[in-house]
Amino acid sequence: MNLRALMYFDEVVRTNSMRAAAENLNVAATAVSRQIENLEEHFGAQLVERTNRGIRLTAAGRLLADRAGRTLRELEHVHQLINDLQGLEGGKVVIYANGATVANVIAPVLAQFSLRHPKLRFEVAITSARQAIEALGSGDADLAVSLFAPSTSGVKLRLRSEIVYDVIVSANHPSAKASNIPLEQLARMPLALPERGFAARQAIEDIFARERIDVDPVFVSSSVEMLKELVLRGAAVTLLPALSVQREIEGGLLAAVPVADGKAVHTSIDLCVSSDRQLSHAANALVQFIEEYMAQARPAHI
């Protein structure tokens, strides 16, 4: 058995197809099939079954798939640690992020960090908060950034930063220059809010419920970009951290108005790493950069 055979098998598992695995690996399909056969001969068991819909793993195949994936990830991690001997002159950082944190933290942070370290590479997976944390435990992720990260063994919380949500309105909206907007007034406006599965939506509903104010949004979407676009076109107002629309605010397209009487929505962004896995030099540098970024942004109501 050799490392190439495991890599080919892992790609077959990931794509569920011999042909797709071959295309991704830039080799002939027969080369992939031959390596799978070599593995089956080595282990003395059938690993995959060919079907009209692709391939299906046998019980032995599922067992190997789990172990092979871990082995390859650990080897990649060792490779990264060896690259650390060269400082920040190379390497890759894998980030798993809850979708709501992308505009607030991930995009602006990576934009700045990559300009300082152009030889580094980044892979960003947008998932649920739970999937992001699970990716740390499995070794798929170097770090996770999420709203309301669930507590899990093997995961260390590096930083929890509070986020304050402002009322985001079009620059031409009558309330754009207001010092604040009361919740009662906000409830009467055409609202565009995240779907109920989002932590931010739950926090928004909680704040209205405490004040015994009914809220009936005109628009509901899982996309921050959609919410922002509806506000830009004057069809709605929304609740978002001002930082997530900072470019539009600076461009004079949107305005962020605080909620009156200290009744703003508050959530938190969690930065997590694995508690039992050494961070690569590149990943550690990025974690420290995120910590500094979030600490600086906190007074400005991220």
| Percent of the chain residues past pLDDT 90, beyond the cut | 31
Q: Which of 30, 48, 76 is where one domain is finished?
A: 76
pLDDT tens-place string over residues 91-143: 789 999 876 677 667 888 999 999 988 988 999 998 877 888 888 887 889 99
- Report the run of H or E that residue 272 belongs to, with start and end: strand 265-274
Q: Is 29 helix (H, G, I), strand (E, B) or coil?
A: helix
**In this structure, are 118 and 247 located in the same domain?**
no
pLDDT tens-place string over residues 198-216: 778 888 999 999 999 999 9
**In this structure, are 129 and 274 located in the same domain?**
yes
**In this structure, are 104 and 247 located in the same domain?**
no
**In this structure, are 273 and 156 located in the same domain?**
yes
Grade residue 72 by pLDDT with cuts at 50, 70 and 90.
Answer: low
pLDDT attached to residue 1: 56
Residue 90's contacts (CB-CB under 8 Å, 6 or more residues apart) are 83, 119, 120
Mode of pairing for the β-strands spanning 143-147 and 48-51: unpaired
pLDDT attached to residue 302: 41
Pick 244 or 18 by higher pLDDT.
Answer: 18
pLDDT for residue 230 is more than 90: yes
Residue 80's contacts (CB-CB under 8 Å, 6 or more residues apart) are 91, 92, 280, 282, 283
Distance of CA 135 to CAs 45, 97, 139, 205, 280, Å?
29, 10, 6, 30, 16
pTM: 0.59
Q: Tokens 């992720």 identify what position?
A: 141
Q: Tokens 């032995």 identify what position?
A: 60
Pick 187 or 135 by higher pLDDT.
Answer: 187
What's the count of helices (H) and strands (E) in the chain, helices before strands?
11, 11
State how far the Cα of 132 lies from the Cα of 105, in Å rounded to an integer.
15
Domain that holds residue 132: 84-161+268-300
pLDDT tens-place string over residues 143-154: 999 876 666 777
**In this structure, are 25 and 144 located in the same domain?**
no
Looking up residue 33, the CATH number of its domain turns out to be 1.10.10.10
**In this structure, are 71 and 95 located in the same domain?**
no
Q: Which of 27, 53, 76 is where one domain is finished?
A: 76
Q: Is residue 158 a contact partner of residue 247, using CB atoms and an 8 Å limit?
A: no
**In this structure, are 144 and 182 located in the same domain?**
no
Mode of pairing for the β-strands spanning 237-241 and 143-147: unpaired
Structure-block tokens of residue 25: 């690996």
DSSP structure class, residue 17: -
Grade residue 45 by pLDDT with cuts at 50, 70 and 90.
Answer: confident
Distance of CA 276 to CAs 42, 133, 268, Å?
32, 14, 24
According to DSSP, the residues that pair with 49 across neighbouring strands are 56
pLDDT for residue 299 is more than 50: no
Looking at the chain, list the stretches that DSSP marks H as alpha helix, in order from N- to C-terminal side.
3-15, 18-25, 29-43, 59-83, 107-116, 129-138, 183-187, 199-210, 224-232, 246-250, 281-297
